[in-house]
Amino acid sequence: MSHLFASTRIGRMQLPNRAIMAPMTRTRASRDGIQTPLAATYYTQRAGAGLIITEAIAVSRQGHGYPMIPGLWTNAQQESWVPVFDAVHKAGGRIAAQLFHTGRSGHSSVFGELVAPSPIAIRTGEARDVNFQSVPFETPRELTTQEIPGIARDFGLAARRAIDAGADAVEIHAANSYLIDEFLRSATNRRTDVYGQDRTRFLREVVEAVTKEIGADRTGVRFSPMSPWNDMSDENPLETYRRAAEAIRGVAFMHLVEAGGAATITPALSQAFGGPVIVNGGYDFAHAEAALVAGAAAVAFGVPYLANPDLLERFRRNAPLNTPDPGSFYGGSERGYTDYPALELVA
Ligand SMILES: Cc1cc2nc3c(=O)[nH]c(=O)nc-3n(C[C@H](O)[C@H](O)[C@H](O)COP(=O)(O)O)c2cc1C
C-alpha cells in the first residue's frame, strides 16, 4: 500500500495525503510586494497536495531584498493574499505561508539596505538588482545587538497577517542562506555578542514571536543543514542543527532540505526534534515512499510540483511528468506558471 496517499495530522492540519508542494519563489509579484491574481490560479491548480507551502514572503521592507517577491508587512500586501488562500480552500486544499528575511542574499537597490549577522559578502554567483540584472553581491552591514529583537517581532507580525489573510499555517524560512540561516551557520555568524555565543538565539526569538501570535500548532520551520548554495557552510552541521532542532521542539513540523548530503543527518535531527518531519530535495515517487517508511511524516516536491499541477494523480497512475522549463522559473506571467498541462490535456 502506498504511504504517500495516506492521510496524516500535522499540528492543527489534517492532510489527506503526504505530498507537500515545496516553497518556490516565482518573482511575479509587483515591485511593492503585492501578490497577483494569477497566483490564485497557480496555487489552486496544485491544491491536490496534502499541503502547499507558498513562495518565500518578506516580513519587512528591510527583508525584501529580491525584486518582485511578495511581502507581508502592509495591509495591501495582506489583502492581496486573501483571494489566493480563499481559492485554495475552495478547491479543497491547505496552504502555509513561508516567511523570510533575505539578509545578505538580496541587493540594496531593491529596498535600500543589506544587513546580516556579520559583514561578509557572498563570494560565488551574482545578486539580482531591482531591474533583474545580474550584479556582484554587496557586503552587508552587521546588525547591532539592539536591533535584532525587532526583526524577530517582524516575523511575528507577518505571521499574524498571514493567518488573518486566511493561511492555515506559517513556515519560518530558516534555510537556503537567508537571514535566520546566516545566524545559524558558522561561516556567516562571526559575532561575539549573545547572538554569536549562541547561534540559535535569533531562531528561538523568531519562533517565540511567531508562536505567540499564531500558536505552535500552526508554525513550522525549514532548515537546509548542508546546502552550500550562496556560499554557506558550517564547521559542524550535525551539532549546529541538532541544537536548532532542539530549539524548535513543540512546533508543528520541521522541514529539512537534504541538499549537500544532509540526508545522512536527517535521522539524528528528527530524533532531536521529536515531531513530524518533512523531507525534501530530489525526491521521486519511489524515494518518497522509502522516506515515509523510514519515518518521515511527509515529502515535499519542488520542481516536480512546479511543472505538474496534478503531480499526485500522475504518481497514482504512474504517468509521465511534464518537462520543467527553468527559463520561466523566475519572472514573467502565465508561461511556465499556470500553463503546465494537467494529464487530461496531454494528448
Ligand atoms: C524556482 C525555485 C524557487 C525556489 N524558491 C524557494 C523558496 O522561496 N523558499 C525555499 O525554501 N526554497 C525554495 N526553493 C527550493 C525548493 O523548495 C526545493 O528545496 C528544491 O527545489 C529541491 O526540491 P526538488 O528536488 O523537489 O525540486 C526553490 C526552488 C526552485 C526550483
Alpha carbon separation from 55 to 196, 238, 271, 305 (Å, rounded): 29, 27, 28, 13
CB 331 within 8 A of CB 27: yes
Unique residue bearing C-alpha cell 535521522: 267
pLDDT given at position 112: 75
Ligand 1 mutation pick, 25, 27, 337, max ligand atoms within 8 A of CB: 25
DSSP assignment of 243-295: HHHHHTTTSSEEEEE-GGGGGGGHHHHHHHH-S-EEEESS--HHHHHHHHHTT
- Angle, to 10 degrees, between the axis of helix 75-90 and the axis of helix 148-165? 40
Atom of ligand 1 nearest to the CA of 22: 17
Ligand 1 mutation pick, 4, 24, 337, max ligand atoms within 8 A of CB: 24
pLDDT given at position 345: 57
pTM over 0.85: yes
Identity of residue 77: Q
- Residue 274 CA to residue 257 CA, distance in Å, equals 17
pLDDT given at position 346: 54
Report CA dihedral (154, 155, 157, 162) to the nearest 10 degrees. 140
pLDDT given at position 347: 46
12 Cα: distance to centroid of ligand 1 (angstroms): 24
Q: Which of 178, 195, 305, 340 is catalytic?
A: 178
Residues framing ligand 1 (Cβ under 6 A): 22-25, 55-56, 98, 173, 175-176, 222, 257, 280-283, 301-304, 329
- Residue 116 CA to residue 180 CA, distance in Å, equals 9
Report CA dihedral (299, 304, 308, 312) to the nearest 10 degrees. -30
CB 98 within 8 A of CB 60: no
User: For atom 21 of ligand 1, which residue has the closest CA?
Assistant: 302
Give yes or no: 178 in active site.
yes
309 Cα: distance to centroid of ligand 1 (angstroms): 16
Q: List CB contacts of 1: < 8 A, sequence separation 6 or more.
A: none
Q: In which residue ranges of the chain is pLDDT below 50? A: 347
165 Cα: distance to centroid of ligand 1 (angstroms): 24
3-state secondary structure of 20: strand
Angle at 292 between CA 291 and CA 296, to 5 degrees: 85
pLDDT given at position 344: 77
